[in-house]
């Protein structure tokens, strides 16, 4: 009866542990945090974080297995989300590490896991002692029970320790992620330069993975040496001095890895450092992808990215070859070499090799593999974690943004000139910090002036005179190095020259930090002239706008940014040239009906002199000084990983040659492992009937061959990984640069960078690590199973049920682990998107004091990621415990066969030795098999970008037989086949009934547009914002989809031209200047085809020296304040070529950046030049000079100019007026500019 009760309990336990054959589908809904607190019956992963069984996962896993996918909504909730760790993150941000580590969330679990680690280690070390007693008395059941219980309890304690460490790893990475983000949104301008977005992203992705992996194995650094010492004591007690000899050999092998560990640390640091550079290049490229495509600079950016990737791969090669070709082969050799040396010494000293000595010794030697390998890897991990820690500390130790000094009340001294002022500069010198302390930066001042409260102040002056620096000083982005800047306490709002638009709806971008009030919202929309634009959006003001406003025109972005500032009801509005991107009519309406009537204090930076006479307070800047202050007293108011994915990876890794070589080495490794397992029993039984010396020499040969074959497998894997990583990265990046603009408007930048950072790291290291473990475990397991079955066929009766249950558990886990990794990758993308978005909009966030909004968005995104990684780690505990306990069951079956006398002592010794190690091999094999499939998710995501995203030039045909012209007429482009269809008018560029409609737009942006442009003609294009002006230019460069009609250049349809050819002919100067990180020389001449004198001449012609005068310490030929000759070289002009441009051109004003772009156009000498508001951010004097340059140096080129200023198009041969995507009026020049000027002045 008791037996039936026991069997019933076992059956119920198996039902809990082993999934049923046909699981029921059960949807696990997402749990709201408030519901979690209110309803204790709902799943809260925080309540089960220290559980060993993790039974709550079974229902979720059955649902996933039944559906073969995992929805995010099925994940449970947690009461310990990112908000829970905010206090600890605050301590970490302030570098109070002692308080952080000794808090109850870290110290108590750390001590508990240490105790469990010690218990598991001691019980594991007792197994050989129990084994010896079992071999001495095979039929004594008490020895067998002790052996079985010690193995079971050691397994339970070890897995409990692992689960606690997994919880700690999630906590550590969560706290550090929060601390890094809290710090990044508080960066000073200097900190932003020293820790750009690439560094913050790298620390938030790669470094966080390294931190988690380190915490998971945090106890190995002390527990593995303790285990090795205890094993050494037991071996010496068993074998005497012969054991010491074996341990000396093991020590030599371990210490041989010391220098290699240092090399790995250097390689990891180099890899991470170059990864920052690569991510910065990618971020800069995709932020300015429209301009890059229009200028045809893809190849230049690709060259920089490829160069960084090659350096990174070289560091990866140094890391992988040491880890997989040296460490792993040495670690695999340690048990066999130690056993060989010890047993040989034992035999030479006259002792007999008997089973009760040999097999416990072999078990102890086999047990040295795990702590020796862990100790080696833990030392390597110390060197790997140091660069990570340095990078994190570098960010956390950066200076934080501090707003300008606030006055608590009114200024007390009546005679002080700042009386009644909201802001007062007193002998203030203002400077932008630089990343390199040795480099010079622009210095404004000393200036003394006040900004009156509740009035409009206009700041104007030449480009580079310091206008934007004044606003930056008020907002706190620039530093006051001398004097004082006093500001009464006031809320601020900012409109930058490059308007910041966040990913979200139009309404979200306008309301921003405020609640939605319909009446006030509609009023602001009307004042900012956004009603017609919102009506044209699909979905109205609920339409989603891409990150950085990718699907908005420049004018729309500027007006949304202005609407956000007005809706905020801030006390102080900082408007940095916000009227430059809109047409004159809209600019006048915005100024007179909106800005002039605002009751707040408004500071407007502008080049448009027509507004000055309406202003309360005018400040004129020149050469970094206040030239004049004018006061006006008048006050104004799914599925599984398919085989095609593995085939794709193997093809990238080398194809059939790679597979054949790897298979051959694996076969030889398995064969040598089998021979190694049988060799000692053959020796003790003299099965081969050879001399002892022959057995000894054979044993040594087998050990050496095993190490050689394992090293060969590592070499093949490393070479294949290098080739696959290079191939996949190249394919993904190339495909992204060929993707159409519409792809980027629908893709958050964080998602793209996530695949190019986290997933690239996955195929660089995590996949080969999982693959190598799988192959080593597979060879060991296969060899062990063959030996066990060969030794005792009765074990097949035990293997059948055990392998069946393991298969069932593994199949249930495999689907959940695979789908959970996919979901976790998706959950990581919003976290990175918040980081990239906040780093790109730092001045706006700091001015609006919107840190809390972005921190909350980051906490919400991070909370979802925390749930994903917590469930993933709980799954690991679930599978590990069950597989290892089944292996313990195999040990019990072998013991029962010995108790009943089925096996003799020699067979029992061999089987027990292999059974103890079989648990490890079986767990590693199934775990690695699943982990490889999980890690293939990175390859799957990258393959999608590499093969499935659309490309621009799929429809284009490379000319097979072009008419190559040595002396082309009129300087025609040599790639063009000249045709003259009789059905079309004669012209260089012809638009024939062209209609352009963007994919997600309901109405065409250009309607049935026709135009003929003759060679050398200058055409101006004007119209209201959103009228289709920029669409004409985009269609000419094949950046906008032409759904009807065609465009021809010299008779050749542009669809027949390769994109590189087309965009090399059409040189575009966009609204947003396209500059990339590097020197001015590299930006001017990416191909390095011009001399420095030529570059300096181009800069001189466009007037760049005058604009950059204040950024260099050399004196000017003329006196400061005098009229500068823009064509005169300043004495330190060569320094300008070496000036390093920061990512995104953040260390330049908008006017300076545009002058560099104009100089680049002058050097390119294109046949077709397109100006898209290229002079909107320069003063009128500089614009007049640029127009003279255009007329003089582009006399034979076609110029298409989109502009809002009448003076920008007044000198054109023709001006066309656009409205609603159609040409509504056209005026030509007939002897004077009067007609053109009259037309342009109305728009």
Q: Are 401-491+572-578+600-637 and 969-1077+1143-1241 equal in CATH topology?
A: yes
pLDDT of the residue at 164: 92
The Cα 1002–Cα 264 span in angstroms is: 56
Q: Which residue has the higher pLDDT, 1238 or 722?
A: 722
Question: For 308, phi and psi rounded to 5 degrees?
Answer: -65, -40
Q: Which residues contact 1092 (CB under 8 A, 6 or more apart)?
A: 1081, 1134, 1137
Bridge-based pairing state of the strands 504-505 and 544-545:
antiparallel
Homologous superfamily in CATH for domain 494-569: P-loop containing nucleotide triphosphate hydrolases (3.40.50.300)
**Which of 161-175, 399-413, 425-439 is modeled with the greatest confidence?**
161-175
The Cα 954–Cα 738 span in angstroms is: 9
Burial of 1170 (0-12, 13-18, 19+ CB in 10 A): buried
pLDDT of the residue at 794: 63
Q: Where are the domains of the chain?
A: 16-398+642-947, 401-491+572-578+600-637, 494-569, 969-1077+1143-1241, 1092-1141
pLDDT of the residue at 111: 92
pLDDT of the residue at 463: 65
Q: Report whether 1008 contacts 1086 (CB < 8 A).
A: no
- pTM confidence score: 0.61
Q: Is the pLDDT of residue 1026 over 80?
A: no
Bridge-based pairing state of the strands 601-605 and 456-461:
parallel
pLDDT of the residue at 414: 36
Q: Which residue has the higher pLDDT, 829 or 84?
A: 84
Q: Which residues contact 163 (CB under 8 A, 6 or more apart)?
A: 49, 50, 51, 52, 54, 873, 874, 877
Range of lowest pLDDT (189-203, 786-800, 806-820): 786-800
Q: Is the pLDDT of residue 47 over 60?
A: yes
pLDDT of the residue at 237: 83
Range of lowest pLDDT (452-456, 524-528, 774-778): 452-456
Residue closest to 789 by CA, chosen among 681, 910, 697: 910
Residue closest to 779 by CA, chosen among 669, 687, 705: 669
Q: Is the pLDDT of residue 984 over 60?
A: no
Q: What is the average per-residue pLDDT within 330-354? A: 78
pLDDT of the residue at 112: 92
Residue whose entry in the numeric block shows the structure tokens 């896991």: 113
Instruction: For the chain, count helices (H), then strands (E).
Output: 43, 24
Question: Hey, what are 754's tokens?
Answer: 């996530």
pLDDT of the residue at 302: 85
Q: Which residue has the higher pLDDT, 906 or 172?
A: 172
In SS3 terms, 1125-1164 reads as: CCCCCCCCHHHHHHCEECHHHCCCCHHHHHHHHHHHHHHH
> Phi-psi region for residue 476, left (φ > 0), alpha (ψ -120 to 50) or beta?
left
Q: What is the average per-residue pLDDT within 541-547? A: 74
Range of lowest pLDDT (446-455, 521-530, 890-899): 890-899
Q: What is the average per-residue pLDDT within 862-877? A: 86
Q: Which CATH architecture has domain 16-398+642-947?
A: Up-down Bundle (1.20)
Q: What is the average per-residue pLDDT within 203-218? A: 85
Residue closest to 260 by CA, chosen among 184, 194, 319, 312: 319
Q: Is the pLDDT of residue 1233 over 70?
A: no
In whole numbers, what is the pLDDT of the chain averaged over residues?
75
At the topology level of CATH, where does 401-491+572-578+600-637 sit? Rossmann fold (3.40.50)
Q: Which residue has the higher pLDDT, 480 or 113?
A: 113
pLDDT of the residue at 168: 92
Q: Report whether 267 contacts 315 (CB < 8 A).
A: yes
Residue-by-residue DSSP string for 358-389: HHHHHHHHHHHHHHHHHHHHHHHHHHHHHHHH
The Cα 170–Cα 621 span in angstroms is: 53
969-1077+1143-1241: which CATH number, 3.40.50.720, 3.20.20.70, 3.40.50.300, 3.40.47.10?
3.40.50.300
The Cα 624–Cα 1109 span in angstroms is: 10
Q: Is the pLDDT of residue 145 over 60?
A: yes
**Which of 207-211, 681-685, 741-745 is modeled with the greatest confidence?**
207-211
Range of lowest pLDDT (65-79, 435-449, 1220-1234): 435-449
The Cα 891–Cα 151 span in angstroms is: 9
- pLDDT per position as a tens digit, 809-856: 877 887 887 788 778 877 877 787 778 777 777 777 777 777 787 888
Q: Is the pLDDT of residue 636 over 60?
A: no
Range of lowest pLDDT (161-165, 240-244, 1131-1135): 1131-1135
- pLDDT per position as a tens digit, 879-888: 888 877 877 7
- pLDDT per position as a tens digit, 1077-1088: 778 888 888 777
């Amino acid at each position: 009866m008791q037996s039936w009760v026991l069997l019933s309990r076992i059956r119920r336990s198996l039902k809990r542990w082993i999934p049923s054959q046909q699981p029921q589908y059960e949807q696990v809904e997402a749990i709201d945090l408030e519901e979690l607190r209110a309803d204790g019956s709902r799943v809260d992963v925080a309540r089960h974080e220290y559980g060993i069984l993790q039974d709550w996962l079974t229902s979720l896993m059955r649902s996933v297995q039944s559906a073969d996918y995992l929805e995010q909504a099925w994940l449970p909730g947690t009461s310990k989300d990112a908000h829970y760790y905010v206090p600890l993150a605050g301590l970490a941000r302030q570098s109070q590490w002692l308080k952080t580590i000794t808090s109850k969330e870290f110290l108590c679990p750390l001590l508990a896991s240490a105790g469990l680690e010690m218990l598991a280690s001691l019980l594991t070390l007792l197994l050989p002692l129990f084994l010896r007693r079992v071999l001495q008395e095979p039929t004594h059941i008490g020895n067998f029970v002790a052996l079985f219980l010690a193995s079971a309890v050691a397994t339970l304690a070890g897995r409990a320790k692992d689960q606690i460490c997994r919880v700690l790893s999630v906590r550590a990475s969560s706290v550090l992620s929060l601390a890094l983000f809290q710090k990044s949104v508080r960066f000073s301008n200097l900190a932003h330069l020293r820790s750009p977005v690439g560094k913050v992203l790298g620390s938030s992705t790669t470094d966080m993975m390294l931190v988690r992996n380190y915490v998971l194995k945090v106890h190995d650094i002390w527990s593995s040496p303790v285990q090795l010492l205890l094993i050494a004591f037991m071996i010496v007690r068993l074998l005497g001095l012969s054991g010491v000899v074996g341990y000396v050999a093991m020590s030599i092998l371990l210490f041989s890895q010391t220098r290699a560990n240092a090399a790995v640390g250097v390689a990891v640091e180099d890899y991470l450092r170059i990864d920052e550079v690569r991510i910065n290049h990618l971020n800069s490229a995709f932020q300015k992808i429209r301009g890059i495509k229009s200028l045809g600079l893809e190849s230049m950016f690709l060259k920089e990215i490829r160069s960084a990737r090659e350096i990174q791969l070289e560091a990866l090669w140094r890391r992988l070859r040491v880890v997989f070709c040296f460490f792993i082969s040495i670690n695999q050799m340690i048990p066999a070499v130690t056993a060989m040396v010890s047993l040989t010494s034992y035999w030479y000293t006259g002792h007999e090799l008997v089973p009760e000595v040999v097999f416990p010794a072999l078990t102890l030697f086999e047990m040295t593999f795990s702590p020796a390998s862990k100790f080696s890897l833990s030392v390597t991990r110390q060197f790997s974690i140091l660069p990570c820690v340095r990078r994190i500390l570098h960010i956390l130790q950066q200076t934080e943004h501090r707003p300008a000094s606030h006055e608590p009340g009114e200024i007390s001294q009546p005679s002080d000139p700042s009386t009644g002022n909201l802001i007062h500069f007193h002998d203030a010198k203002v400077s932008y910090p630089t990343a390199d302390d040795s480099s010079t930066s622009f210095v404004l001042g000393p200036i003394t002036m006040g900004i009156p409260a509740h009035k409009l102040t206009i700041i104007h002056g030449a480009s580079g005179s310091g206008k934007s620096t004044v606003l930056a000083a008020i907002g706190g982005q620039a530093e006051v190095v001398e004097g004082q800047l006093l500001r009464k306490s006031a809320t601020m709002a900012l409109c930058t020259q490059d308007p910041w638009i966040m990913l979200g709806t139009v309404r979200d971008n306008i309301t921003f930090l405020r609640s939605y009030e319909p009446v006030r919202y509609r009023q602001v929309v009307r004042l900012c002239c956004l009603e017609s634009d919102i009506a044209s959006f699909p979905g109205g003001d609920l339409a989603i706008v891409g990150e950085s406003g990718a699907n908005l025109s420049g004018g729309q972005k500027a007006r949304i940014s202005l609407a956000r500032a007005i809706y905020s009801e801030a006390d102080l509005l900082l408007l940095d040239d916000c009227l430059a991107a809109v047409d004159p009519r809209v600019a006048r309406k915005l100024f007179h009906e909106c800005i002039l009537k605002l009751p707040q204090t408004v500071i407007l930076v502008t080049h448009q002199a027509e507004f000055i006479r309406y202003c309360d307070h005018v400040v004129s800047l020149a050469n970094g000084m206040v030239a004049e202050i004018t006061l006006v007293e008048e006050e104004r108011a799914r599925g599984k990983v398919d085989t095609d994915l593995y085939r794709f990876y193997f093809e990238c890794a080398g194809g059939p040659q790679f597979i054949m070589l790897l298979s051959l080495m694996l076969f030889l490794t398995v064969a040598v492992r089998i021979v190694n397992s049988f060799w000692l029993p053959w020796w003790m039984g003299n099965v081969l009937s050879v001399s002892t010396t022959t057995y000894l020499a054979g044993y040594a040969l087998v050990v050496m061959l095993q190490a050689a074959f394992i090293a060969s497998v590592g070499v093949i894997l490393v070479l294949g990984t290098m080739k696959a990583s290079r191939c996949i990265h190249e394919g993904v990046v190339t495909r992204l640069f060929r993707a159409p603009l519409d792809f980027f408007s629908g893709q958050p930048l964080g998602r793209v960078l996530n695949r190019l950072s986290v997933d690239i790291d996955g195929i660089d290291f995590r996949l080969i690590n999982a693959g190598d473990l799988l192959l080593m475990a597979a060879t060991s397991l296969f060899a062990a199973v063959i030996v066990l079955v060969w030794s005792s066929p009765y074990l097949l009766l035990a293997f059948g049920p055990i392998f069946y249950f393991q298969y069932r558990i593994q199949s249930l886990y495999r689907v959940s682990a695979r789908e959970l990794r996919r979901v976790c990758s998706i959950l990581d993308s919003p976290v990175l998107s918040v980081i990239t978005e906040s780093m790109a909009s730092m001045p706006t966030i700091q001015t609006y004091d919107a840190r809390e909004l972005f921190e909350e968005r980051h906490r919400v995104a991070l909370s979802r990621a925390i749930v994903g990684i917590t469930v993933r780690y709980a799954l690991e505990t679930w599978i590990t415990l069950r597989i290892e306990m089944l292996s313990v069951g195999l040990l019990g079956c072998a013991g029962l066969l010995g108790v009943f006398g089925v096996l003799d002592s020699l067979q029992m010794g061999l089987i027990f030795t292999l059974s103890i190690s079989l648990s490890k091999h079986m767990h590693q094999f199934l775990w690695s098999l699943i982990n490889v499939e999980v890690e293939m998710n990175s390859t799957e995501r990258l393959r999608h970008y590499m093969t499935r995203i659309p490309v621009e030039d799929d429809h284009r045909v490379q000319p097979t037989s072009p008419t190559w012209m040595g002396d082309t007429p009129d300087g025609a482009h040599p790639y063009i086949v000249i045709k003259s269809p009789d059905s079309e008018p004669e012209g260089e560029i012809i638009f024939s009934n062209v209609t352009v409609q963007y994919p997600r737009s309901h109405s065409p942006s250009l309607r049935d547009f026709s135009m003929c442009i003759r060679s050398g003609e200058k055409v101006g294009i004007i119209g209201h914002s959103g009228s289709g002006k920029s669409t004409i230019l985009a269609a000419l460069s094949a950046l906008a989809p032409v759904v009807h009609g065609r465009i021809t250049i010299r008779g050749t349809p542009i669809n027949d031209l390769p994109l590189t050819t087309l965009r090399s002919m059409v040189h575009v100067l966009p609204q947003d200047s396209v500059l990339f990180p590097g020197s001015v020389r590299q930006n001017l001449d990416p191909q390095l085809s011009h001399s420095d004198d030529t570059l300096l001449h181009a800069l001189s012609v466009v007037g760049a020296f005058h604009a950059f005068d204040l950024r260099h310490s050399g004196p000017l030929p003329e006196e400061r304040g005098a009229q500068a000759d823009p064509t005169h070289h300043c004495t330190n002009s060569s320094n300008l070529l070496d000036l390093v441009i920061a990512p995104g051109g953040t260390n330049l004003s908008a006017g300076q950046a545009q002058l560099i772009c104009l100089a680049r156009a002058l050097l390119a000498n294109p046949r077709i030049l397109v100006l898209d508001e290229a002079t909107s951010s320069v003063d009128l004097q500089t614009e007049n000079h640029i127009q003279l340059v255009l007329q003089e140096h582009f006399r034979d080129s076609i110029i298409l100019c989109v502009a809002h200023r009448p003076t920008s198009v007044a000198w054109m041969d023709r001006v066309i007026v656009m409205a609603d995507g159609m040409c509504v009026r056209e005026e030509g020049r007939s002897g004077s500019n009067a007609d053109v000027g009259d037309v342009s002045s109305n728009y």
